[in-house]
Structure 1
Amino acid sequence: MTTHPVTQAAMSSFASASDPRLAQVMTLLVKHLHAFVTESKLTKEEWMKGLEFLTQSAAITDSERNEFSLLSDILGISSIVDVVSQPVGGTSSSVLGPFHSHDSRLQPNGIDLTGDQAGDRTWLHGCVLDQQGQAIENAEIDFWQNADNGLYPAQDSAQDPHNLRCKIKCEADGSFNLLTIRPHPYTVPTDGPVGALLAASQRSIWRPAHYHLIVSAPGYIGLVTELFPQNSEYIDNDTVFGVREGLIVPFVKSSNTEIAQRYGLDHPFYEVRFDFKLVKQA
């Protein structure tokens, strides 16, 4: 099919960009967006609805909730970016999600995040390693999850804004650990334009239970990922396509007396062990 002169002109308009990568990306974006418009025979009314959708998404986005991030997730874009940009040899990445906050507090390694809230106590621990399995010094874990009611602090004004999230500096041997609760499946936000799109498409709005983590260390490629409890509901039907086989972990019932005494636990708890592997920057 012959490229329309408008498409050719729009693609060529980015040829003089100061950054060659910017020129490449924008040229391809124009090419494929124009192809979408042409193939779908998009009407003016439909395009205006699309612009209205984006405007509504911007209106609902703030420092605690990003509707554009959610849109990227439910379209599978976040996941396919993970796939094509994943460095070989490291732990699989997964979606960031719309509820990450950059201002999580730095807490001591071994922090108890649970307080007096409801939820099955879970001891999460492991190490940050390189591709050869050697410990990485100065690694950091950025951790967040939902509460026992399935909600994140941004969705639930009754929660402390810093509930069940923190940053941790790992030990010299790469080890980290914290006490938290078992996460729960939850629905993605449905009170905005993305929720309306899911409803109109008759799509599932559920995500399987998971922990969110960002793992970083100087000289290594940062990792954005998730850990999913084995046998969680919706593990095979994640509305944001974030599940990876290597990120599904067993939650093992434990009676480890040392850990129970450390956190004042008087009944068995769950234990999750996971080691993260980072890839060195080129």
Structure 2
Amino acid sequence: MNFIEAIILAVIEGLTEFLPVSSTGHMIIASTFMGIESGDFTKLFTVAIQFGAILSVVVVYFKRFLQSWEFYKKLAFAFIPTGIIGLLLKSHIDALLENVWVVATSLLLGGIVLVFVDKWFAKNETEGTEEVSYKTGFLIGIFQCIAMVPGVSRSAATIIGGLTQKLTRKAAAEFSFFLAVPTMFAATAKSIWDEKELLMKSSDNEWLLLIVGNIVAFLVAYIAIRTFIAFLSKNGFKAFGYYRIILGAALIILLLSGINLQIVD
């Protein structure tokens, strides 16, 4: 992986991690067309730069993370389903990660769902709430478990989960961002711990790629989060739905054409 490839992957991570479009699908396409080998350092890089994306949420919503212990207790409660299911089904999840057909199909079907989400939950914008209870948080956490299927998108699953609990689009999206912090931190920290020997053996150039990657992912994610909330409040999910349908169809066409697609994250 060279410097330009690292920056491109970091931009993709920052741009797609918190949008309901699946970062996995974008990583597949980008790595394939750039010819990046799915080696140990590439996998470590795509995991490690998530720290930059996580930090962007904390910075954007800095005051919310300082408001009360109640906020953290709700996040912890919402994280429980993912923590349990993730530990119990890790081997099955890893197996799904090797199947690009699963990613492509999830993108396509998820896109169809997003096209109709605004219509299904239209009343939320006038009759919904912005208050997340413990029950609501826990149920959103259950929806987050669906995102363990590659291509579903953690953001899409948790936002839709919030909408089913009568949250407004803005409130559902913001809680999705908040829940990403413990979820992504736990997953990223575990992956890095598992690859700690590789990390310690990394060259100076590889460490530089990791540092730059995290900075780029942070900056892009910061902009993406602020832009997404404004766009979502005004326009809803339909555009993201159509985009996912196009992306999923593109992956399926590439697969049917015999192109070898590699998952790097």
Q: TM-score over 0.5 for the alignment?
A: no
Structure possessing the higher relative contact order (Cα contacts under 8 Å, 6 or more residues apart): 2
TM-score, normalised via structure 1 length: 0.23
TM-score, normalised via structure 2 length: 0.24
Q: Which has the higher helix share?
A: 2
